[in-house]
Structure 1
Amino acid sequence: MIVFPAIDLKGGQVVRLAEGDMDRATVYGDDPAEQAQIFADEGAKHLHVVDLDGAFAGESRNRAAVEAIVARFPGHVQLGGGIRSPEAVAGWFNLGVSRIVIGSAALTDPQFVKDMAREWENGVVVAVDARDGMVATEGWAKVSDVPVADLARRFEDAGVASVLFTDIGRDGLLKGCNIDATVELARQTDMPVIASGGVKGLDDIRLLALHEKDGIEGVITGRALYDGRLDLAAALQMAGRV
């Protein structure tokens, strides 16, 4: 199972939000590339990067920071936040990003997602963000009437690499990952699922890794790492051992 340390970008800084609320951001650093290097030194082979400003604006707002991260990090960078055009997708892949995460457009323009998934083999991840089981969009600012599993199943057989599932109600709050909902989603679709939201410690990593056979591909963790509640090296070891 892959452990993705998270670097969320707001105004060029490394931050974490509580429940996706831009007004509840905690700043953890002013040098995103240096943070990427720290994660690499601790053994990370993958990063999950989000342009939070871009998610709300619908286009890149932290490009310089992302470019610096890609240049500094020797592994794979997975990027999301405001990527809603073929030109944006191509631009990031050409820069060296390994996978693109598409969220809001998965609901509003599913054909775009399918086209990109077919054009960029194994390069597109669909983000399914949920509040109370319903899909949320536009930086989590709006909640739809579409159930999570229904949205995910729309992209089966479309070439999508993975589904990234976030329980917004737990994100950034260290409440523990919603393992039951994540595993249930993995069982309801034939696509691998990446867990996100609320990871608070090593036990979350262990429990998710136990369900790798159910389709859990990885887990994203942010605040627990920044607050020192989760040791990245230990998490990587646990994910590879279970």
Structure 2
Amino acid sequence: MLEIFPAIDLKEGQVVRLYKGKMSSAKVYGSPIDFAKKFENMGSKWIHIVDLDGAFCGEPKNLGVIHKIRESTNLKIQLGGGIRSEENIKNYIEIGIDRLILGSVAMKNPDFVEKMALRYPIAVGIDAKDGKVAIEGWAHTEQLEATHLAKRFKNTGIEAVICTDISRDGAFEGINVDWTLSIAKASECFCIASGGFRDENDLIILDEAFKENKVIGGVIIGKAYYEDKIDLKSILKRFL
């Protein structure tokens, strides 16, 4: 059964959603604490938080509001964005974050990520444009294939791989199931699909594909919820 991760993307302390990763496209939806409480009341077990300011700057920028979210709910929190040192990781662990996502640093220093995974609950974020790894808030695209990076973290102790097809993110074009499966097979990890989710039918297709290929994983739900295109409470009830 798919694990559902409602998303909270933070920009200057507010919940926003982007279109295909462009900060200039940010649409503000309101208070992250209010949304976190809503997700908990709907029955969610997790929330997926991204510090967008941190992702672009290379260091955490929304620590205060993230701390308030932690204090306001009992949800498990999966967090990424600008986490590029052990000090960053320790600071978040100390305030009770359950899983840290390492993205850009996974591309630049995979040995560091492997070392951190032996000490802390770590997920690797692999974001891609046309199959190539994108880093630093998606501002730069490398020549490395995302599947090659995923394979690098096979059998390294990471808890999950989160794979985002940037070309579909916030565009309601449907999850890139085939690409997600390629990342899951390369990493052999719990695999969380991100980018393009549009409706409950996407979940059915992804769930069936995961079962057929013996993949265990989940999906991040963001803009489809904020734009009232889905009944998240019903989805959570179905997939719990």
Q: Say whether the fold is shared (TM-score over 0.5).
A: yes
Matched with 2:139 is 141
Mapped partners of 1:111, 1:180: distance in 2: 28
Q: Deviations over 1:83-105 (max 9, x none)?
A: 00001101101110000001000
Task: Name the amino acid aligned to 1:25.
Answer: A
Q: Does 1:21 align with 2:19?
A: no
- Give the Cα separation in 2 of the matches to 1:208 and 1:236: 15
Structure 1 residue 200 and structure 2 residue 198: aligned? yes
- 1:175 equivalent to 2:173? Answer yes
CA deviation digits over 1:26-73, x for unaligned, max 9?
A: 1111x2111100111111110000000000111111111111111112
| TM-superposed deviation, 1:116 | 0.7
CA–CA separation in structure 1 for the residues paired with 2:210 and 2:96: 28
Q: Where do 1:57-72 residues align within 5 Å?
A: 57-72=57-72
Unaligned runs of 5+ in 1: none
Structure 2: where are the runs of 5+ without partners? none
Q: Could you give the per-residue CA deviations for residues 206-235 of structure 1, whole angstroms, max 9, x where no partner exists?
A: 111223333241100100001111111222
Q: Aligned-pair distance for 1:76?
A: 0.4
Aligned structure 1 segments of 4 or more residues deviating by more than 3 angstroms: none
Aligned residue in 1 for 2:158: 160
CA distance in 1, matches of 2:174, 2:216: 16
Question: How far, CA to CA, are the matches of 1:208 and 1:14 in structure 2?
Answer: 26
Shift of 1:188: 2.8
Whether contact under 8 Å (2:148, 2:186) holds in the other structure is no
Mapped contact 1:208–1:216 kept (Cα < 8 A): no
**In 2, are the aligned partners of 1:205 and 1:239 still within 8 Å (CA)?**
no
Give the C-alpha shift of residue 189 in structure 1: 2.7
Q: Secondary structure, in 3 states, of the residue corresponding to 2:50?
A: strand
- Taking the aligned partners of 2:234 and 2:140, their CA distance within structure 1 comes to 36
The one-letter amino acid of 2:229's match is R
Amino acid at match of 2:137: G
What letter is aligned with 1:195? A
Equivalent positions of 1:212-231 (< 5 A) are 212-213=210-211, 214-231=214-231
Matched to 2:70, the amino acid is V
Aligned CA distance change for structure 1 residues 204 and 170 (closer, same or farther; 3 Å): same
Answer yes or no: is the 8 Å Cα contact 2:152–2:187 preserved in 1: no
Percent of residue pairs bearing the same amino acid type: 43
Letter in 2 for 1:210: E
Aligned residue pairs total: 237
Match of 1:127 among 125, 128, 131: 125
Which whole-Å CA distance do the structure 1 matches of 2:69 and 2:203 have between them?
25
Once the two structures are superposed, the pairs formed by residues 27-38 of structure 1 within 5 Å of their partners are 27-29=28-30, 31-38=31-38
8 Å contact 1:206–1:238 — kept in the other structure?
no
Partner Cα distance (1:186, 1:109) in 2? 21
Is this contact kept in 1: 2:15–2:28, CA < 8 A? yes
TM-score by length of 1: 0.95
* TM-score, structure 2 as length reference: 0.96
**What is the rounded CA distance, in whole Å, between the counterparts of 1:101 and 1:186 in structure 2?**
16
